[in-house]
Amino acid sequence: GQIVHLADYRPTDFVLERVDLTFELDPQNTKVEARLIFHRREGVDASAPLVLDGDELMLSGLLLDQIDIPAAQYDATPDRLTIRDLPAETPFEICVTNYINPEANTQLMGLYRTNGVYCTQCEAEGFRRITYFPDRPDVLAPYTITIVAAKEGNTFLLSNGNFLGGGNYDEGRHFAAWFDPHPKPSYLFALVAGDLGLIEDTFTTMSGRDVALKIYVEHGKEPRAAYAMDALKRSMKWDEERFGREYDLDIFMIVAVSDFNMGAMENKGLNVFNDKYVLADPETATDADYANIERIIAHEYFHNWTGNRITCRDWFQLCLKEGLTVYRDQEFSSDMRSRAVKRIADVRHLKSEQFPEDGGPLAHPPRPDKYREINNFYTTTVYEKGAEITGMIATILGEDDFRKGMDLYFERHDGDAATVEDFVKCFEEASGRDLSQFFRWYIQAGTPLVSASTSYDAASSTFTLSLEQTVPATPGQSSKQALYIPLSTALILDNGQIAAPSKVEGGEYKNGVLHLTERSQTFSFSGISSRPVLSLNRGFSAPINLHLEQSAEDMVQIARHDTDMFSRWQALTTLAMPNLVKATNAVRNDAPVAFDAGFITTLIEVIGDDALEPAFRAQVLALPSESDIAREIGSSNDPDAIHQARNAAMAAIAKAGVETLTALFDAFEDKGAYSPDATSAGRRSLRNIAMSYLSFAEETPKRAADAFAAASNMTDLAHALSILTQRFPDSAEAAQALATFEARFADNALVLDKWLSIQAAIPGEGALGRIKSLTGSKHFVGTNPNRVRSLIGTFAFGNPTGFNRADGEAYRFLAEQIVSIDKRNPQLAARILTSMRSWRSLEPVRADHARAALTTIERSPALSTDVRDIVERVLK
Ligand code: HT7
Ligand code: ZN
């Protein structure tokens, strides 16, 4: 694992014109024949060799224009094939033959087998595990694929592009050929072969072309793919209407597989999905599952333009496709659901995942300038902060200029392997704005802190807002330059109206957006007739930490009356946080825990307001998480104290609001048939969170046990099971419900993942013993990433008290697990290890244990590059 630097980028010496691959599939011995047509790039020295990437490959045959290449003319190692003395001017054909073992491929990168199905995963560098190839995203070519396989067990032989034809091959075998006319990089290649169930539909594009839509799932699961198909058709229509993007092949296929390292993959015309993000029915999937399916189906489909038609020049540009595509899927979900609630959920996720990454040892710029293992850069910073940056461009430019910039990007770069610079330039040209300062968002890591102070002068009717920005130091970046921060801002008057200032001085203020560009900047608003309440960073227009001295009365005013629903939620969260921090300190000091009555009253008032949508009220009730509180406290954290303090807050709210909460629980009972739509899901989420609170006001598990018995869908069932196991872990009702759940869903691995993760999240001392015993359960299959994430991942990421037990036992357990998982699946091991990224903010005893466990991993022999990279950065 050597370090790769952005500054070292240079194009390849040889241009790849065409790719022709033939696969003869065999579970242990698949023959791959790659015919590659190259020509030497103009100006490249005639002595320059052709260097192809490999990974654990063994060369079996090598031809140049159909003639054997003498051994002296090439060098082949498992990870490189170097061929010398190639034609200087004319195109030539290299034919590489090699054999691979899909069944032995436990990394799930390249060609592997899952449940008897052949499947590929090539992003980022998996293609080189299939054949020797210039495996980098700026090498684009049209592909012709021939797949030969036994008829038995391989009804479908699928690859990218349009189907050319197929038929019998030889005794017991058949073949299929595919051609993808759109030049693509190798990471978008896909092959799937197996016996699968199929659902089909058609989409007519805006220019009137019919596209065949096919979703392949395990036999018998076809009805559970209906929602994914519906989401796909809505995504295709939305991309036409919102961005003018039409689909470009005759067929679009999705295959659901049960062993997959991530959520899904946008291979051209043949998306491969983790089955968790395809399969859903009311009995087995929660509302959150449905929302994730809709989002991820859309995300992969949107990549067809932002990622595939326009791809990345190199992997440093990953956020060019990922940040933009997340922005697009967020916009899609906002249009399909409630925009305000979607924004709240996205910001909650950003703060709980990306902010800790940006504030810890794994912080990196959205466009990094070096990496050791690219797989470790599929991060929340690249994805979610990348999306926030795209959103800020939209905020700065306004809707029309943003759309013009996108149109220009599609027009100018279609077929290109582009850079982030190319992207930003399109918006500069479309709007006439200079975005050079804005560009720093891509290359500086760290969450900016904006400190704001205000004053009001009644005599001159002037409101003054002083802003100061700092970006904290992050690994490798000790000093930072000022960012261009768009702050959506309103001044709210007594009557709840938004003030329209007669003049604003000190900087640009347009369409309600302040453009903060200096380190310190003071804006004055004239013509403000009475002291206003400041509503700043509305809609979370910039991904920053905000420090604003604001009175509780002003925050209550925003929480009650702001026209921006996001701001109302934000004000309540801002009110909650000091209460939770104070309570944590009280717990640690054995002092009485008390909460501000104003905060509790306002919260109860808001959730009881029937004019507000239920999903919004549910978001208001969901207090900052334990890790949010830990981040706010910043250092020397005691997860047990945080847990107790947060529970005390819930108990206090439950006590004060028992009538409102009971009324919500009664009013929102699900009657009639289940529907996954956002409104129905919002009603369920409000009722279920009300039940969570009531469990703090009640001594017995009766309500949750009754809800478990009465549940008619997985959302309600899983929630009731969570309450039973979290609040009443030692009760007979909890044990009974776990057993019932297990028996009812014994043959459904995806549902048993919920059974695993619900138990993995049970707080307290008993957690580790429970996890250890569950690793021996027949439902825990250590080779399947979904099972590992559900049990080990949930424990490490989602059980702060159980995982951070003071004796350090759980860290040592995780270290053993990481070393063991690493041997078969380094990517999975590295990702779960990132759960240790905030160890330095723990109190010293826990921090010492964490360091020791990390050091054990670091010293373990034969670590993968993936895990080595993470452990070394986390320890640094
Ligand atoms: N672009 C896809 C990334 C991905 C991936 C990366 C590394 C290893 C396995 C992987 N599977 C999918 C997913 C996406 O962002 O759409
Ligand atoms: Zn993506």
Per-residue H/E/C for 505-568: ECCCEECCEEEECCCEEEEEEECCCCCCEEEECHHHCCCCEEEECCCHHHHHHHHHHCCCHHHH
Do 449-543 and 745-876 fold alike per CATH?
no
Q: How far is the CA of 272 from the centre of ligand 1 (A)?
A: 10
Q: How far is the CA of 273 from the centre of ligand 1 (A)?
A: 10
Distance in Å from the first CA to the final CA of the chain? 18
Architecture in CATH for domain 311-443: Orthogonal Bundle (1.10)
Q: Indicate whether residue 123 lines ligand 1 (CB < 6 A).
A: yes
At 589, which amino acid appears? N
Q: How far is the CA of 826 from the centre of ligand 2 (A)?
A: 20
Going by pLDDT thresholds of 50, 70 and 90, the confidence category of residue 828 is: very high
93-133 pLDDT per residue, tens: 999 999 999 999 999 999 999 999 999 999 999 999 999 99
Chain centre distance of CA 760:
21
Pick the atom of ligand 1 nearest to 300's CA: 16
Q: Indicate whether residue 299 lines ligand 1 (CB < 6 A).
A: yes
**Which residue's alpha carbon is at the smallest distance from atom 2 of ligand 1?**
265
Mean pLDDT of 423-438: 99
Q: Indicate whether residue 321 lines ligand 1 (CB < 6 A).
A: no
Going by pLDDT thresholds of 50, 70 and 90, the confidence category of residue 397 is: very high
Close Cβ partners of 621 (under 8 Å, ≥ 6 residues apart): 603, 607, 686, 689, 690, 693
Which listed CATH number (1.10.540.10, 2.60.40.10, 1.25.50.10, 2.60.40.1840) goes with 550-697? 1.25.50.10
Whole-angstrom distance, CA of residue 231 vs CA of residue 339? 17
162-198 pLDDT per residue, tens: 999 999 999 999 999 999 999 999 999 999 999 999 9
Mean pLDDT of 743-747: 98
Q: Which ligand is nearest to the CA of 262?
A: 1
Pick the closest to residue 809 from 759, 845, 861, 863 (CA basis). Answer: 845
Q: Which ligand is nearest to the CA of 188?
A: 1
435-467 pLDDT per residue, tens: 999 999 999 999 999 999 999 999 999 999 999
Architecture in CATH for domain 449-543: Sandwich (2.60)
Which listed CATH number (1.10.287.110, 3.40.1350.10, 1.25.50.10, 2.40.320.10) goes with 745-876? 1.25.50.10
Q: How far is the CA of 832 from the centre of ligand 2 (A)?
A: 20
Close Cβ partners of 773 (under 8 Å, ≥ 6 residues apart): none
Q: Any bridge partners for residue 62, and if so which? A: 96
593, 586 in Cβ contact below 8 A? yes
The DSSP secondary-structure symbol of 280 reads: -
From the CB of residue 323, how many other CB atoms can be counted at a distance below 10 Å?
Answer: 27
Pick the closest to residue 464 from 502, 546, 521 (CA basis). Answer: 521
Pick the atom of ligand 1 nearest to 827's CA: 8
Q: How far is the CA of 262 from the centre of ligand 1 (A)?
A: 6
Q: Indicate whether residue 378 lines ligand 1 (CB < 6 A).
A: yes
pLDDT of residue 191: 99
Structural tokens at position 206: 């805006």
Q: Indicate whether residue 266 lines ligand 1 (CB < 6 A).
A: yes
Q: Indicate whether residue 275 lines ligand 1 (CB < 6 A).
A: no
**Which residue's alpha carbon is at the smallest distance from atom 15 of ligand 1?**
322
Does the pLDDT at position 825 exceed 80?
A: yes
HSE, side-chain direction, 13 A CA sphere, residue 839: 30
Pick the atom of ligand 1 nearest to 262's CA: 11
Q: How far is the CA of 261 from the centre of ligand 1 (A)?
A: 8
Residue 587 to residues 555, 583, 628, 638, 658: CA-CA distances in angstroms?
26, 6, 17, 10, 24
Pick the closest to residue 727 from 770, 682, 764, 773 (CA basis). Answer: 764
Q: How far is the CA of 418 from the centre of ligand 2 (A)?
A: 16
Mean pLDDT of 468-486: 98
Pick the atom of ligand 1 nearest to 378's CA: 6
The residue annotated as part of the active site, out of 300, 373, 626, 733, is: 300
Does the pLDDT at position 535 exceed 90?
A: yes
Q: Which ligand is nearest to the CA of 374?
A: 1
Domain extent listing, the chain: 311-443, 449-543, 550-697, 745-876
596-637 pLDDT per residue, tens: 999 999 999 999 999 999 999 999 999 999 999 999 999 999
786-813 pLDDT per residue, tens: 999 999 999 999 999 999 999 999 999 9
CA angle 538, 292, 710 (to 5 degrees): 105
**Which residue's alpha carbon is at the smallest distance from atom 6 of ligand 1?**
123
**Which residue's alpha carbon is at the smallest distance from atom 14 of ligand 1?**
265
Q: Find tokens 């032989």 and name the residue.
A: 157
Q: How far is the CA of 384 from the centre of ligand 2 (A)?
A: 11
Close Cβ partners of 120 (under 8 Å, ≥ 6 residues apart): 110, 111, 112, 126, 130, 189, 190, 191, 192, 267, 272
Q: Which ligand is nearest to the CA of 329?
A: 2
Peptide bond into 298 cis (omega under 30): no
Q: Indicate whether residue 326 lines ligand 1 (CB < 6 A).
A: no
The DSSP secondary-structure symbol of 522 reads: E
Residue-wise DSSP of 427-483? HHHHH----TTTTHHHH--S--EEEEEEEEETTTTEEEEEEEEE---BTTB-S-PPP
> Can you state the percent helix, strand and coil of the chain, rounding each to 5?
45, 20, 35
Does the pLDDT at position 1 exceed 80?
A: no
pLDDT of residue 671: 87
775, 791 in Cβ contact below 8 A? yes
Instruction: Round the CA-based radius of gyration of the chain to a whole number and report it.
Output: 28
Chain centre distance of CA 722:
24
φ and ψ at residue 436, rounded to 5 degrees: -65, -40
Computed over every residue of the chain, the mean pLDDT equals: 98
626 classed as catalytic: no
Beta-strand relationship, 311-312 and 417-418: parallel
**Which residue's alpha carbon is at the smallest distance from atom 12 of ligand 1?**
265
Q: Which ligand is nearest to the CA of 373?
A: 1
Does the pLDDT at position 92 exceed 80?
A: yes
Q: Which of 128, 135, 186, 378 to mutate to test the pocket of ligand 1 (most atoms within 8 A of CB)?
A: 378
Q: Indicate whether residue 593 lines ligand 1 (CB < 6 A).
A: no
28-76 pLDDT per residue, tens: 999 999 999 999 999 999 999 999 999 999 999 999 999 999 999 999 9
389, 323 in Cβ contact below 8 A? yes
Q: Any bridge partners for residue 146, and if so which? A: 22, 177
Instruction: Indicate the helix (H) or strand (E) that contains 22.
Output: strand 14-24
319, 366 in Cβ contact below 8 A? yes
HSE, side-chain direction, 13 A CA sphere, residue 821: 31
Whole-angstrom distance, CA of residue 827 vs CA of residue 109? 9
Pick the atom of ligand 1 nearest to 299's CA: 16
227-262 pLDDT per residue, tens: 999 999 999 999 999 999 999 999 999 999 999 999
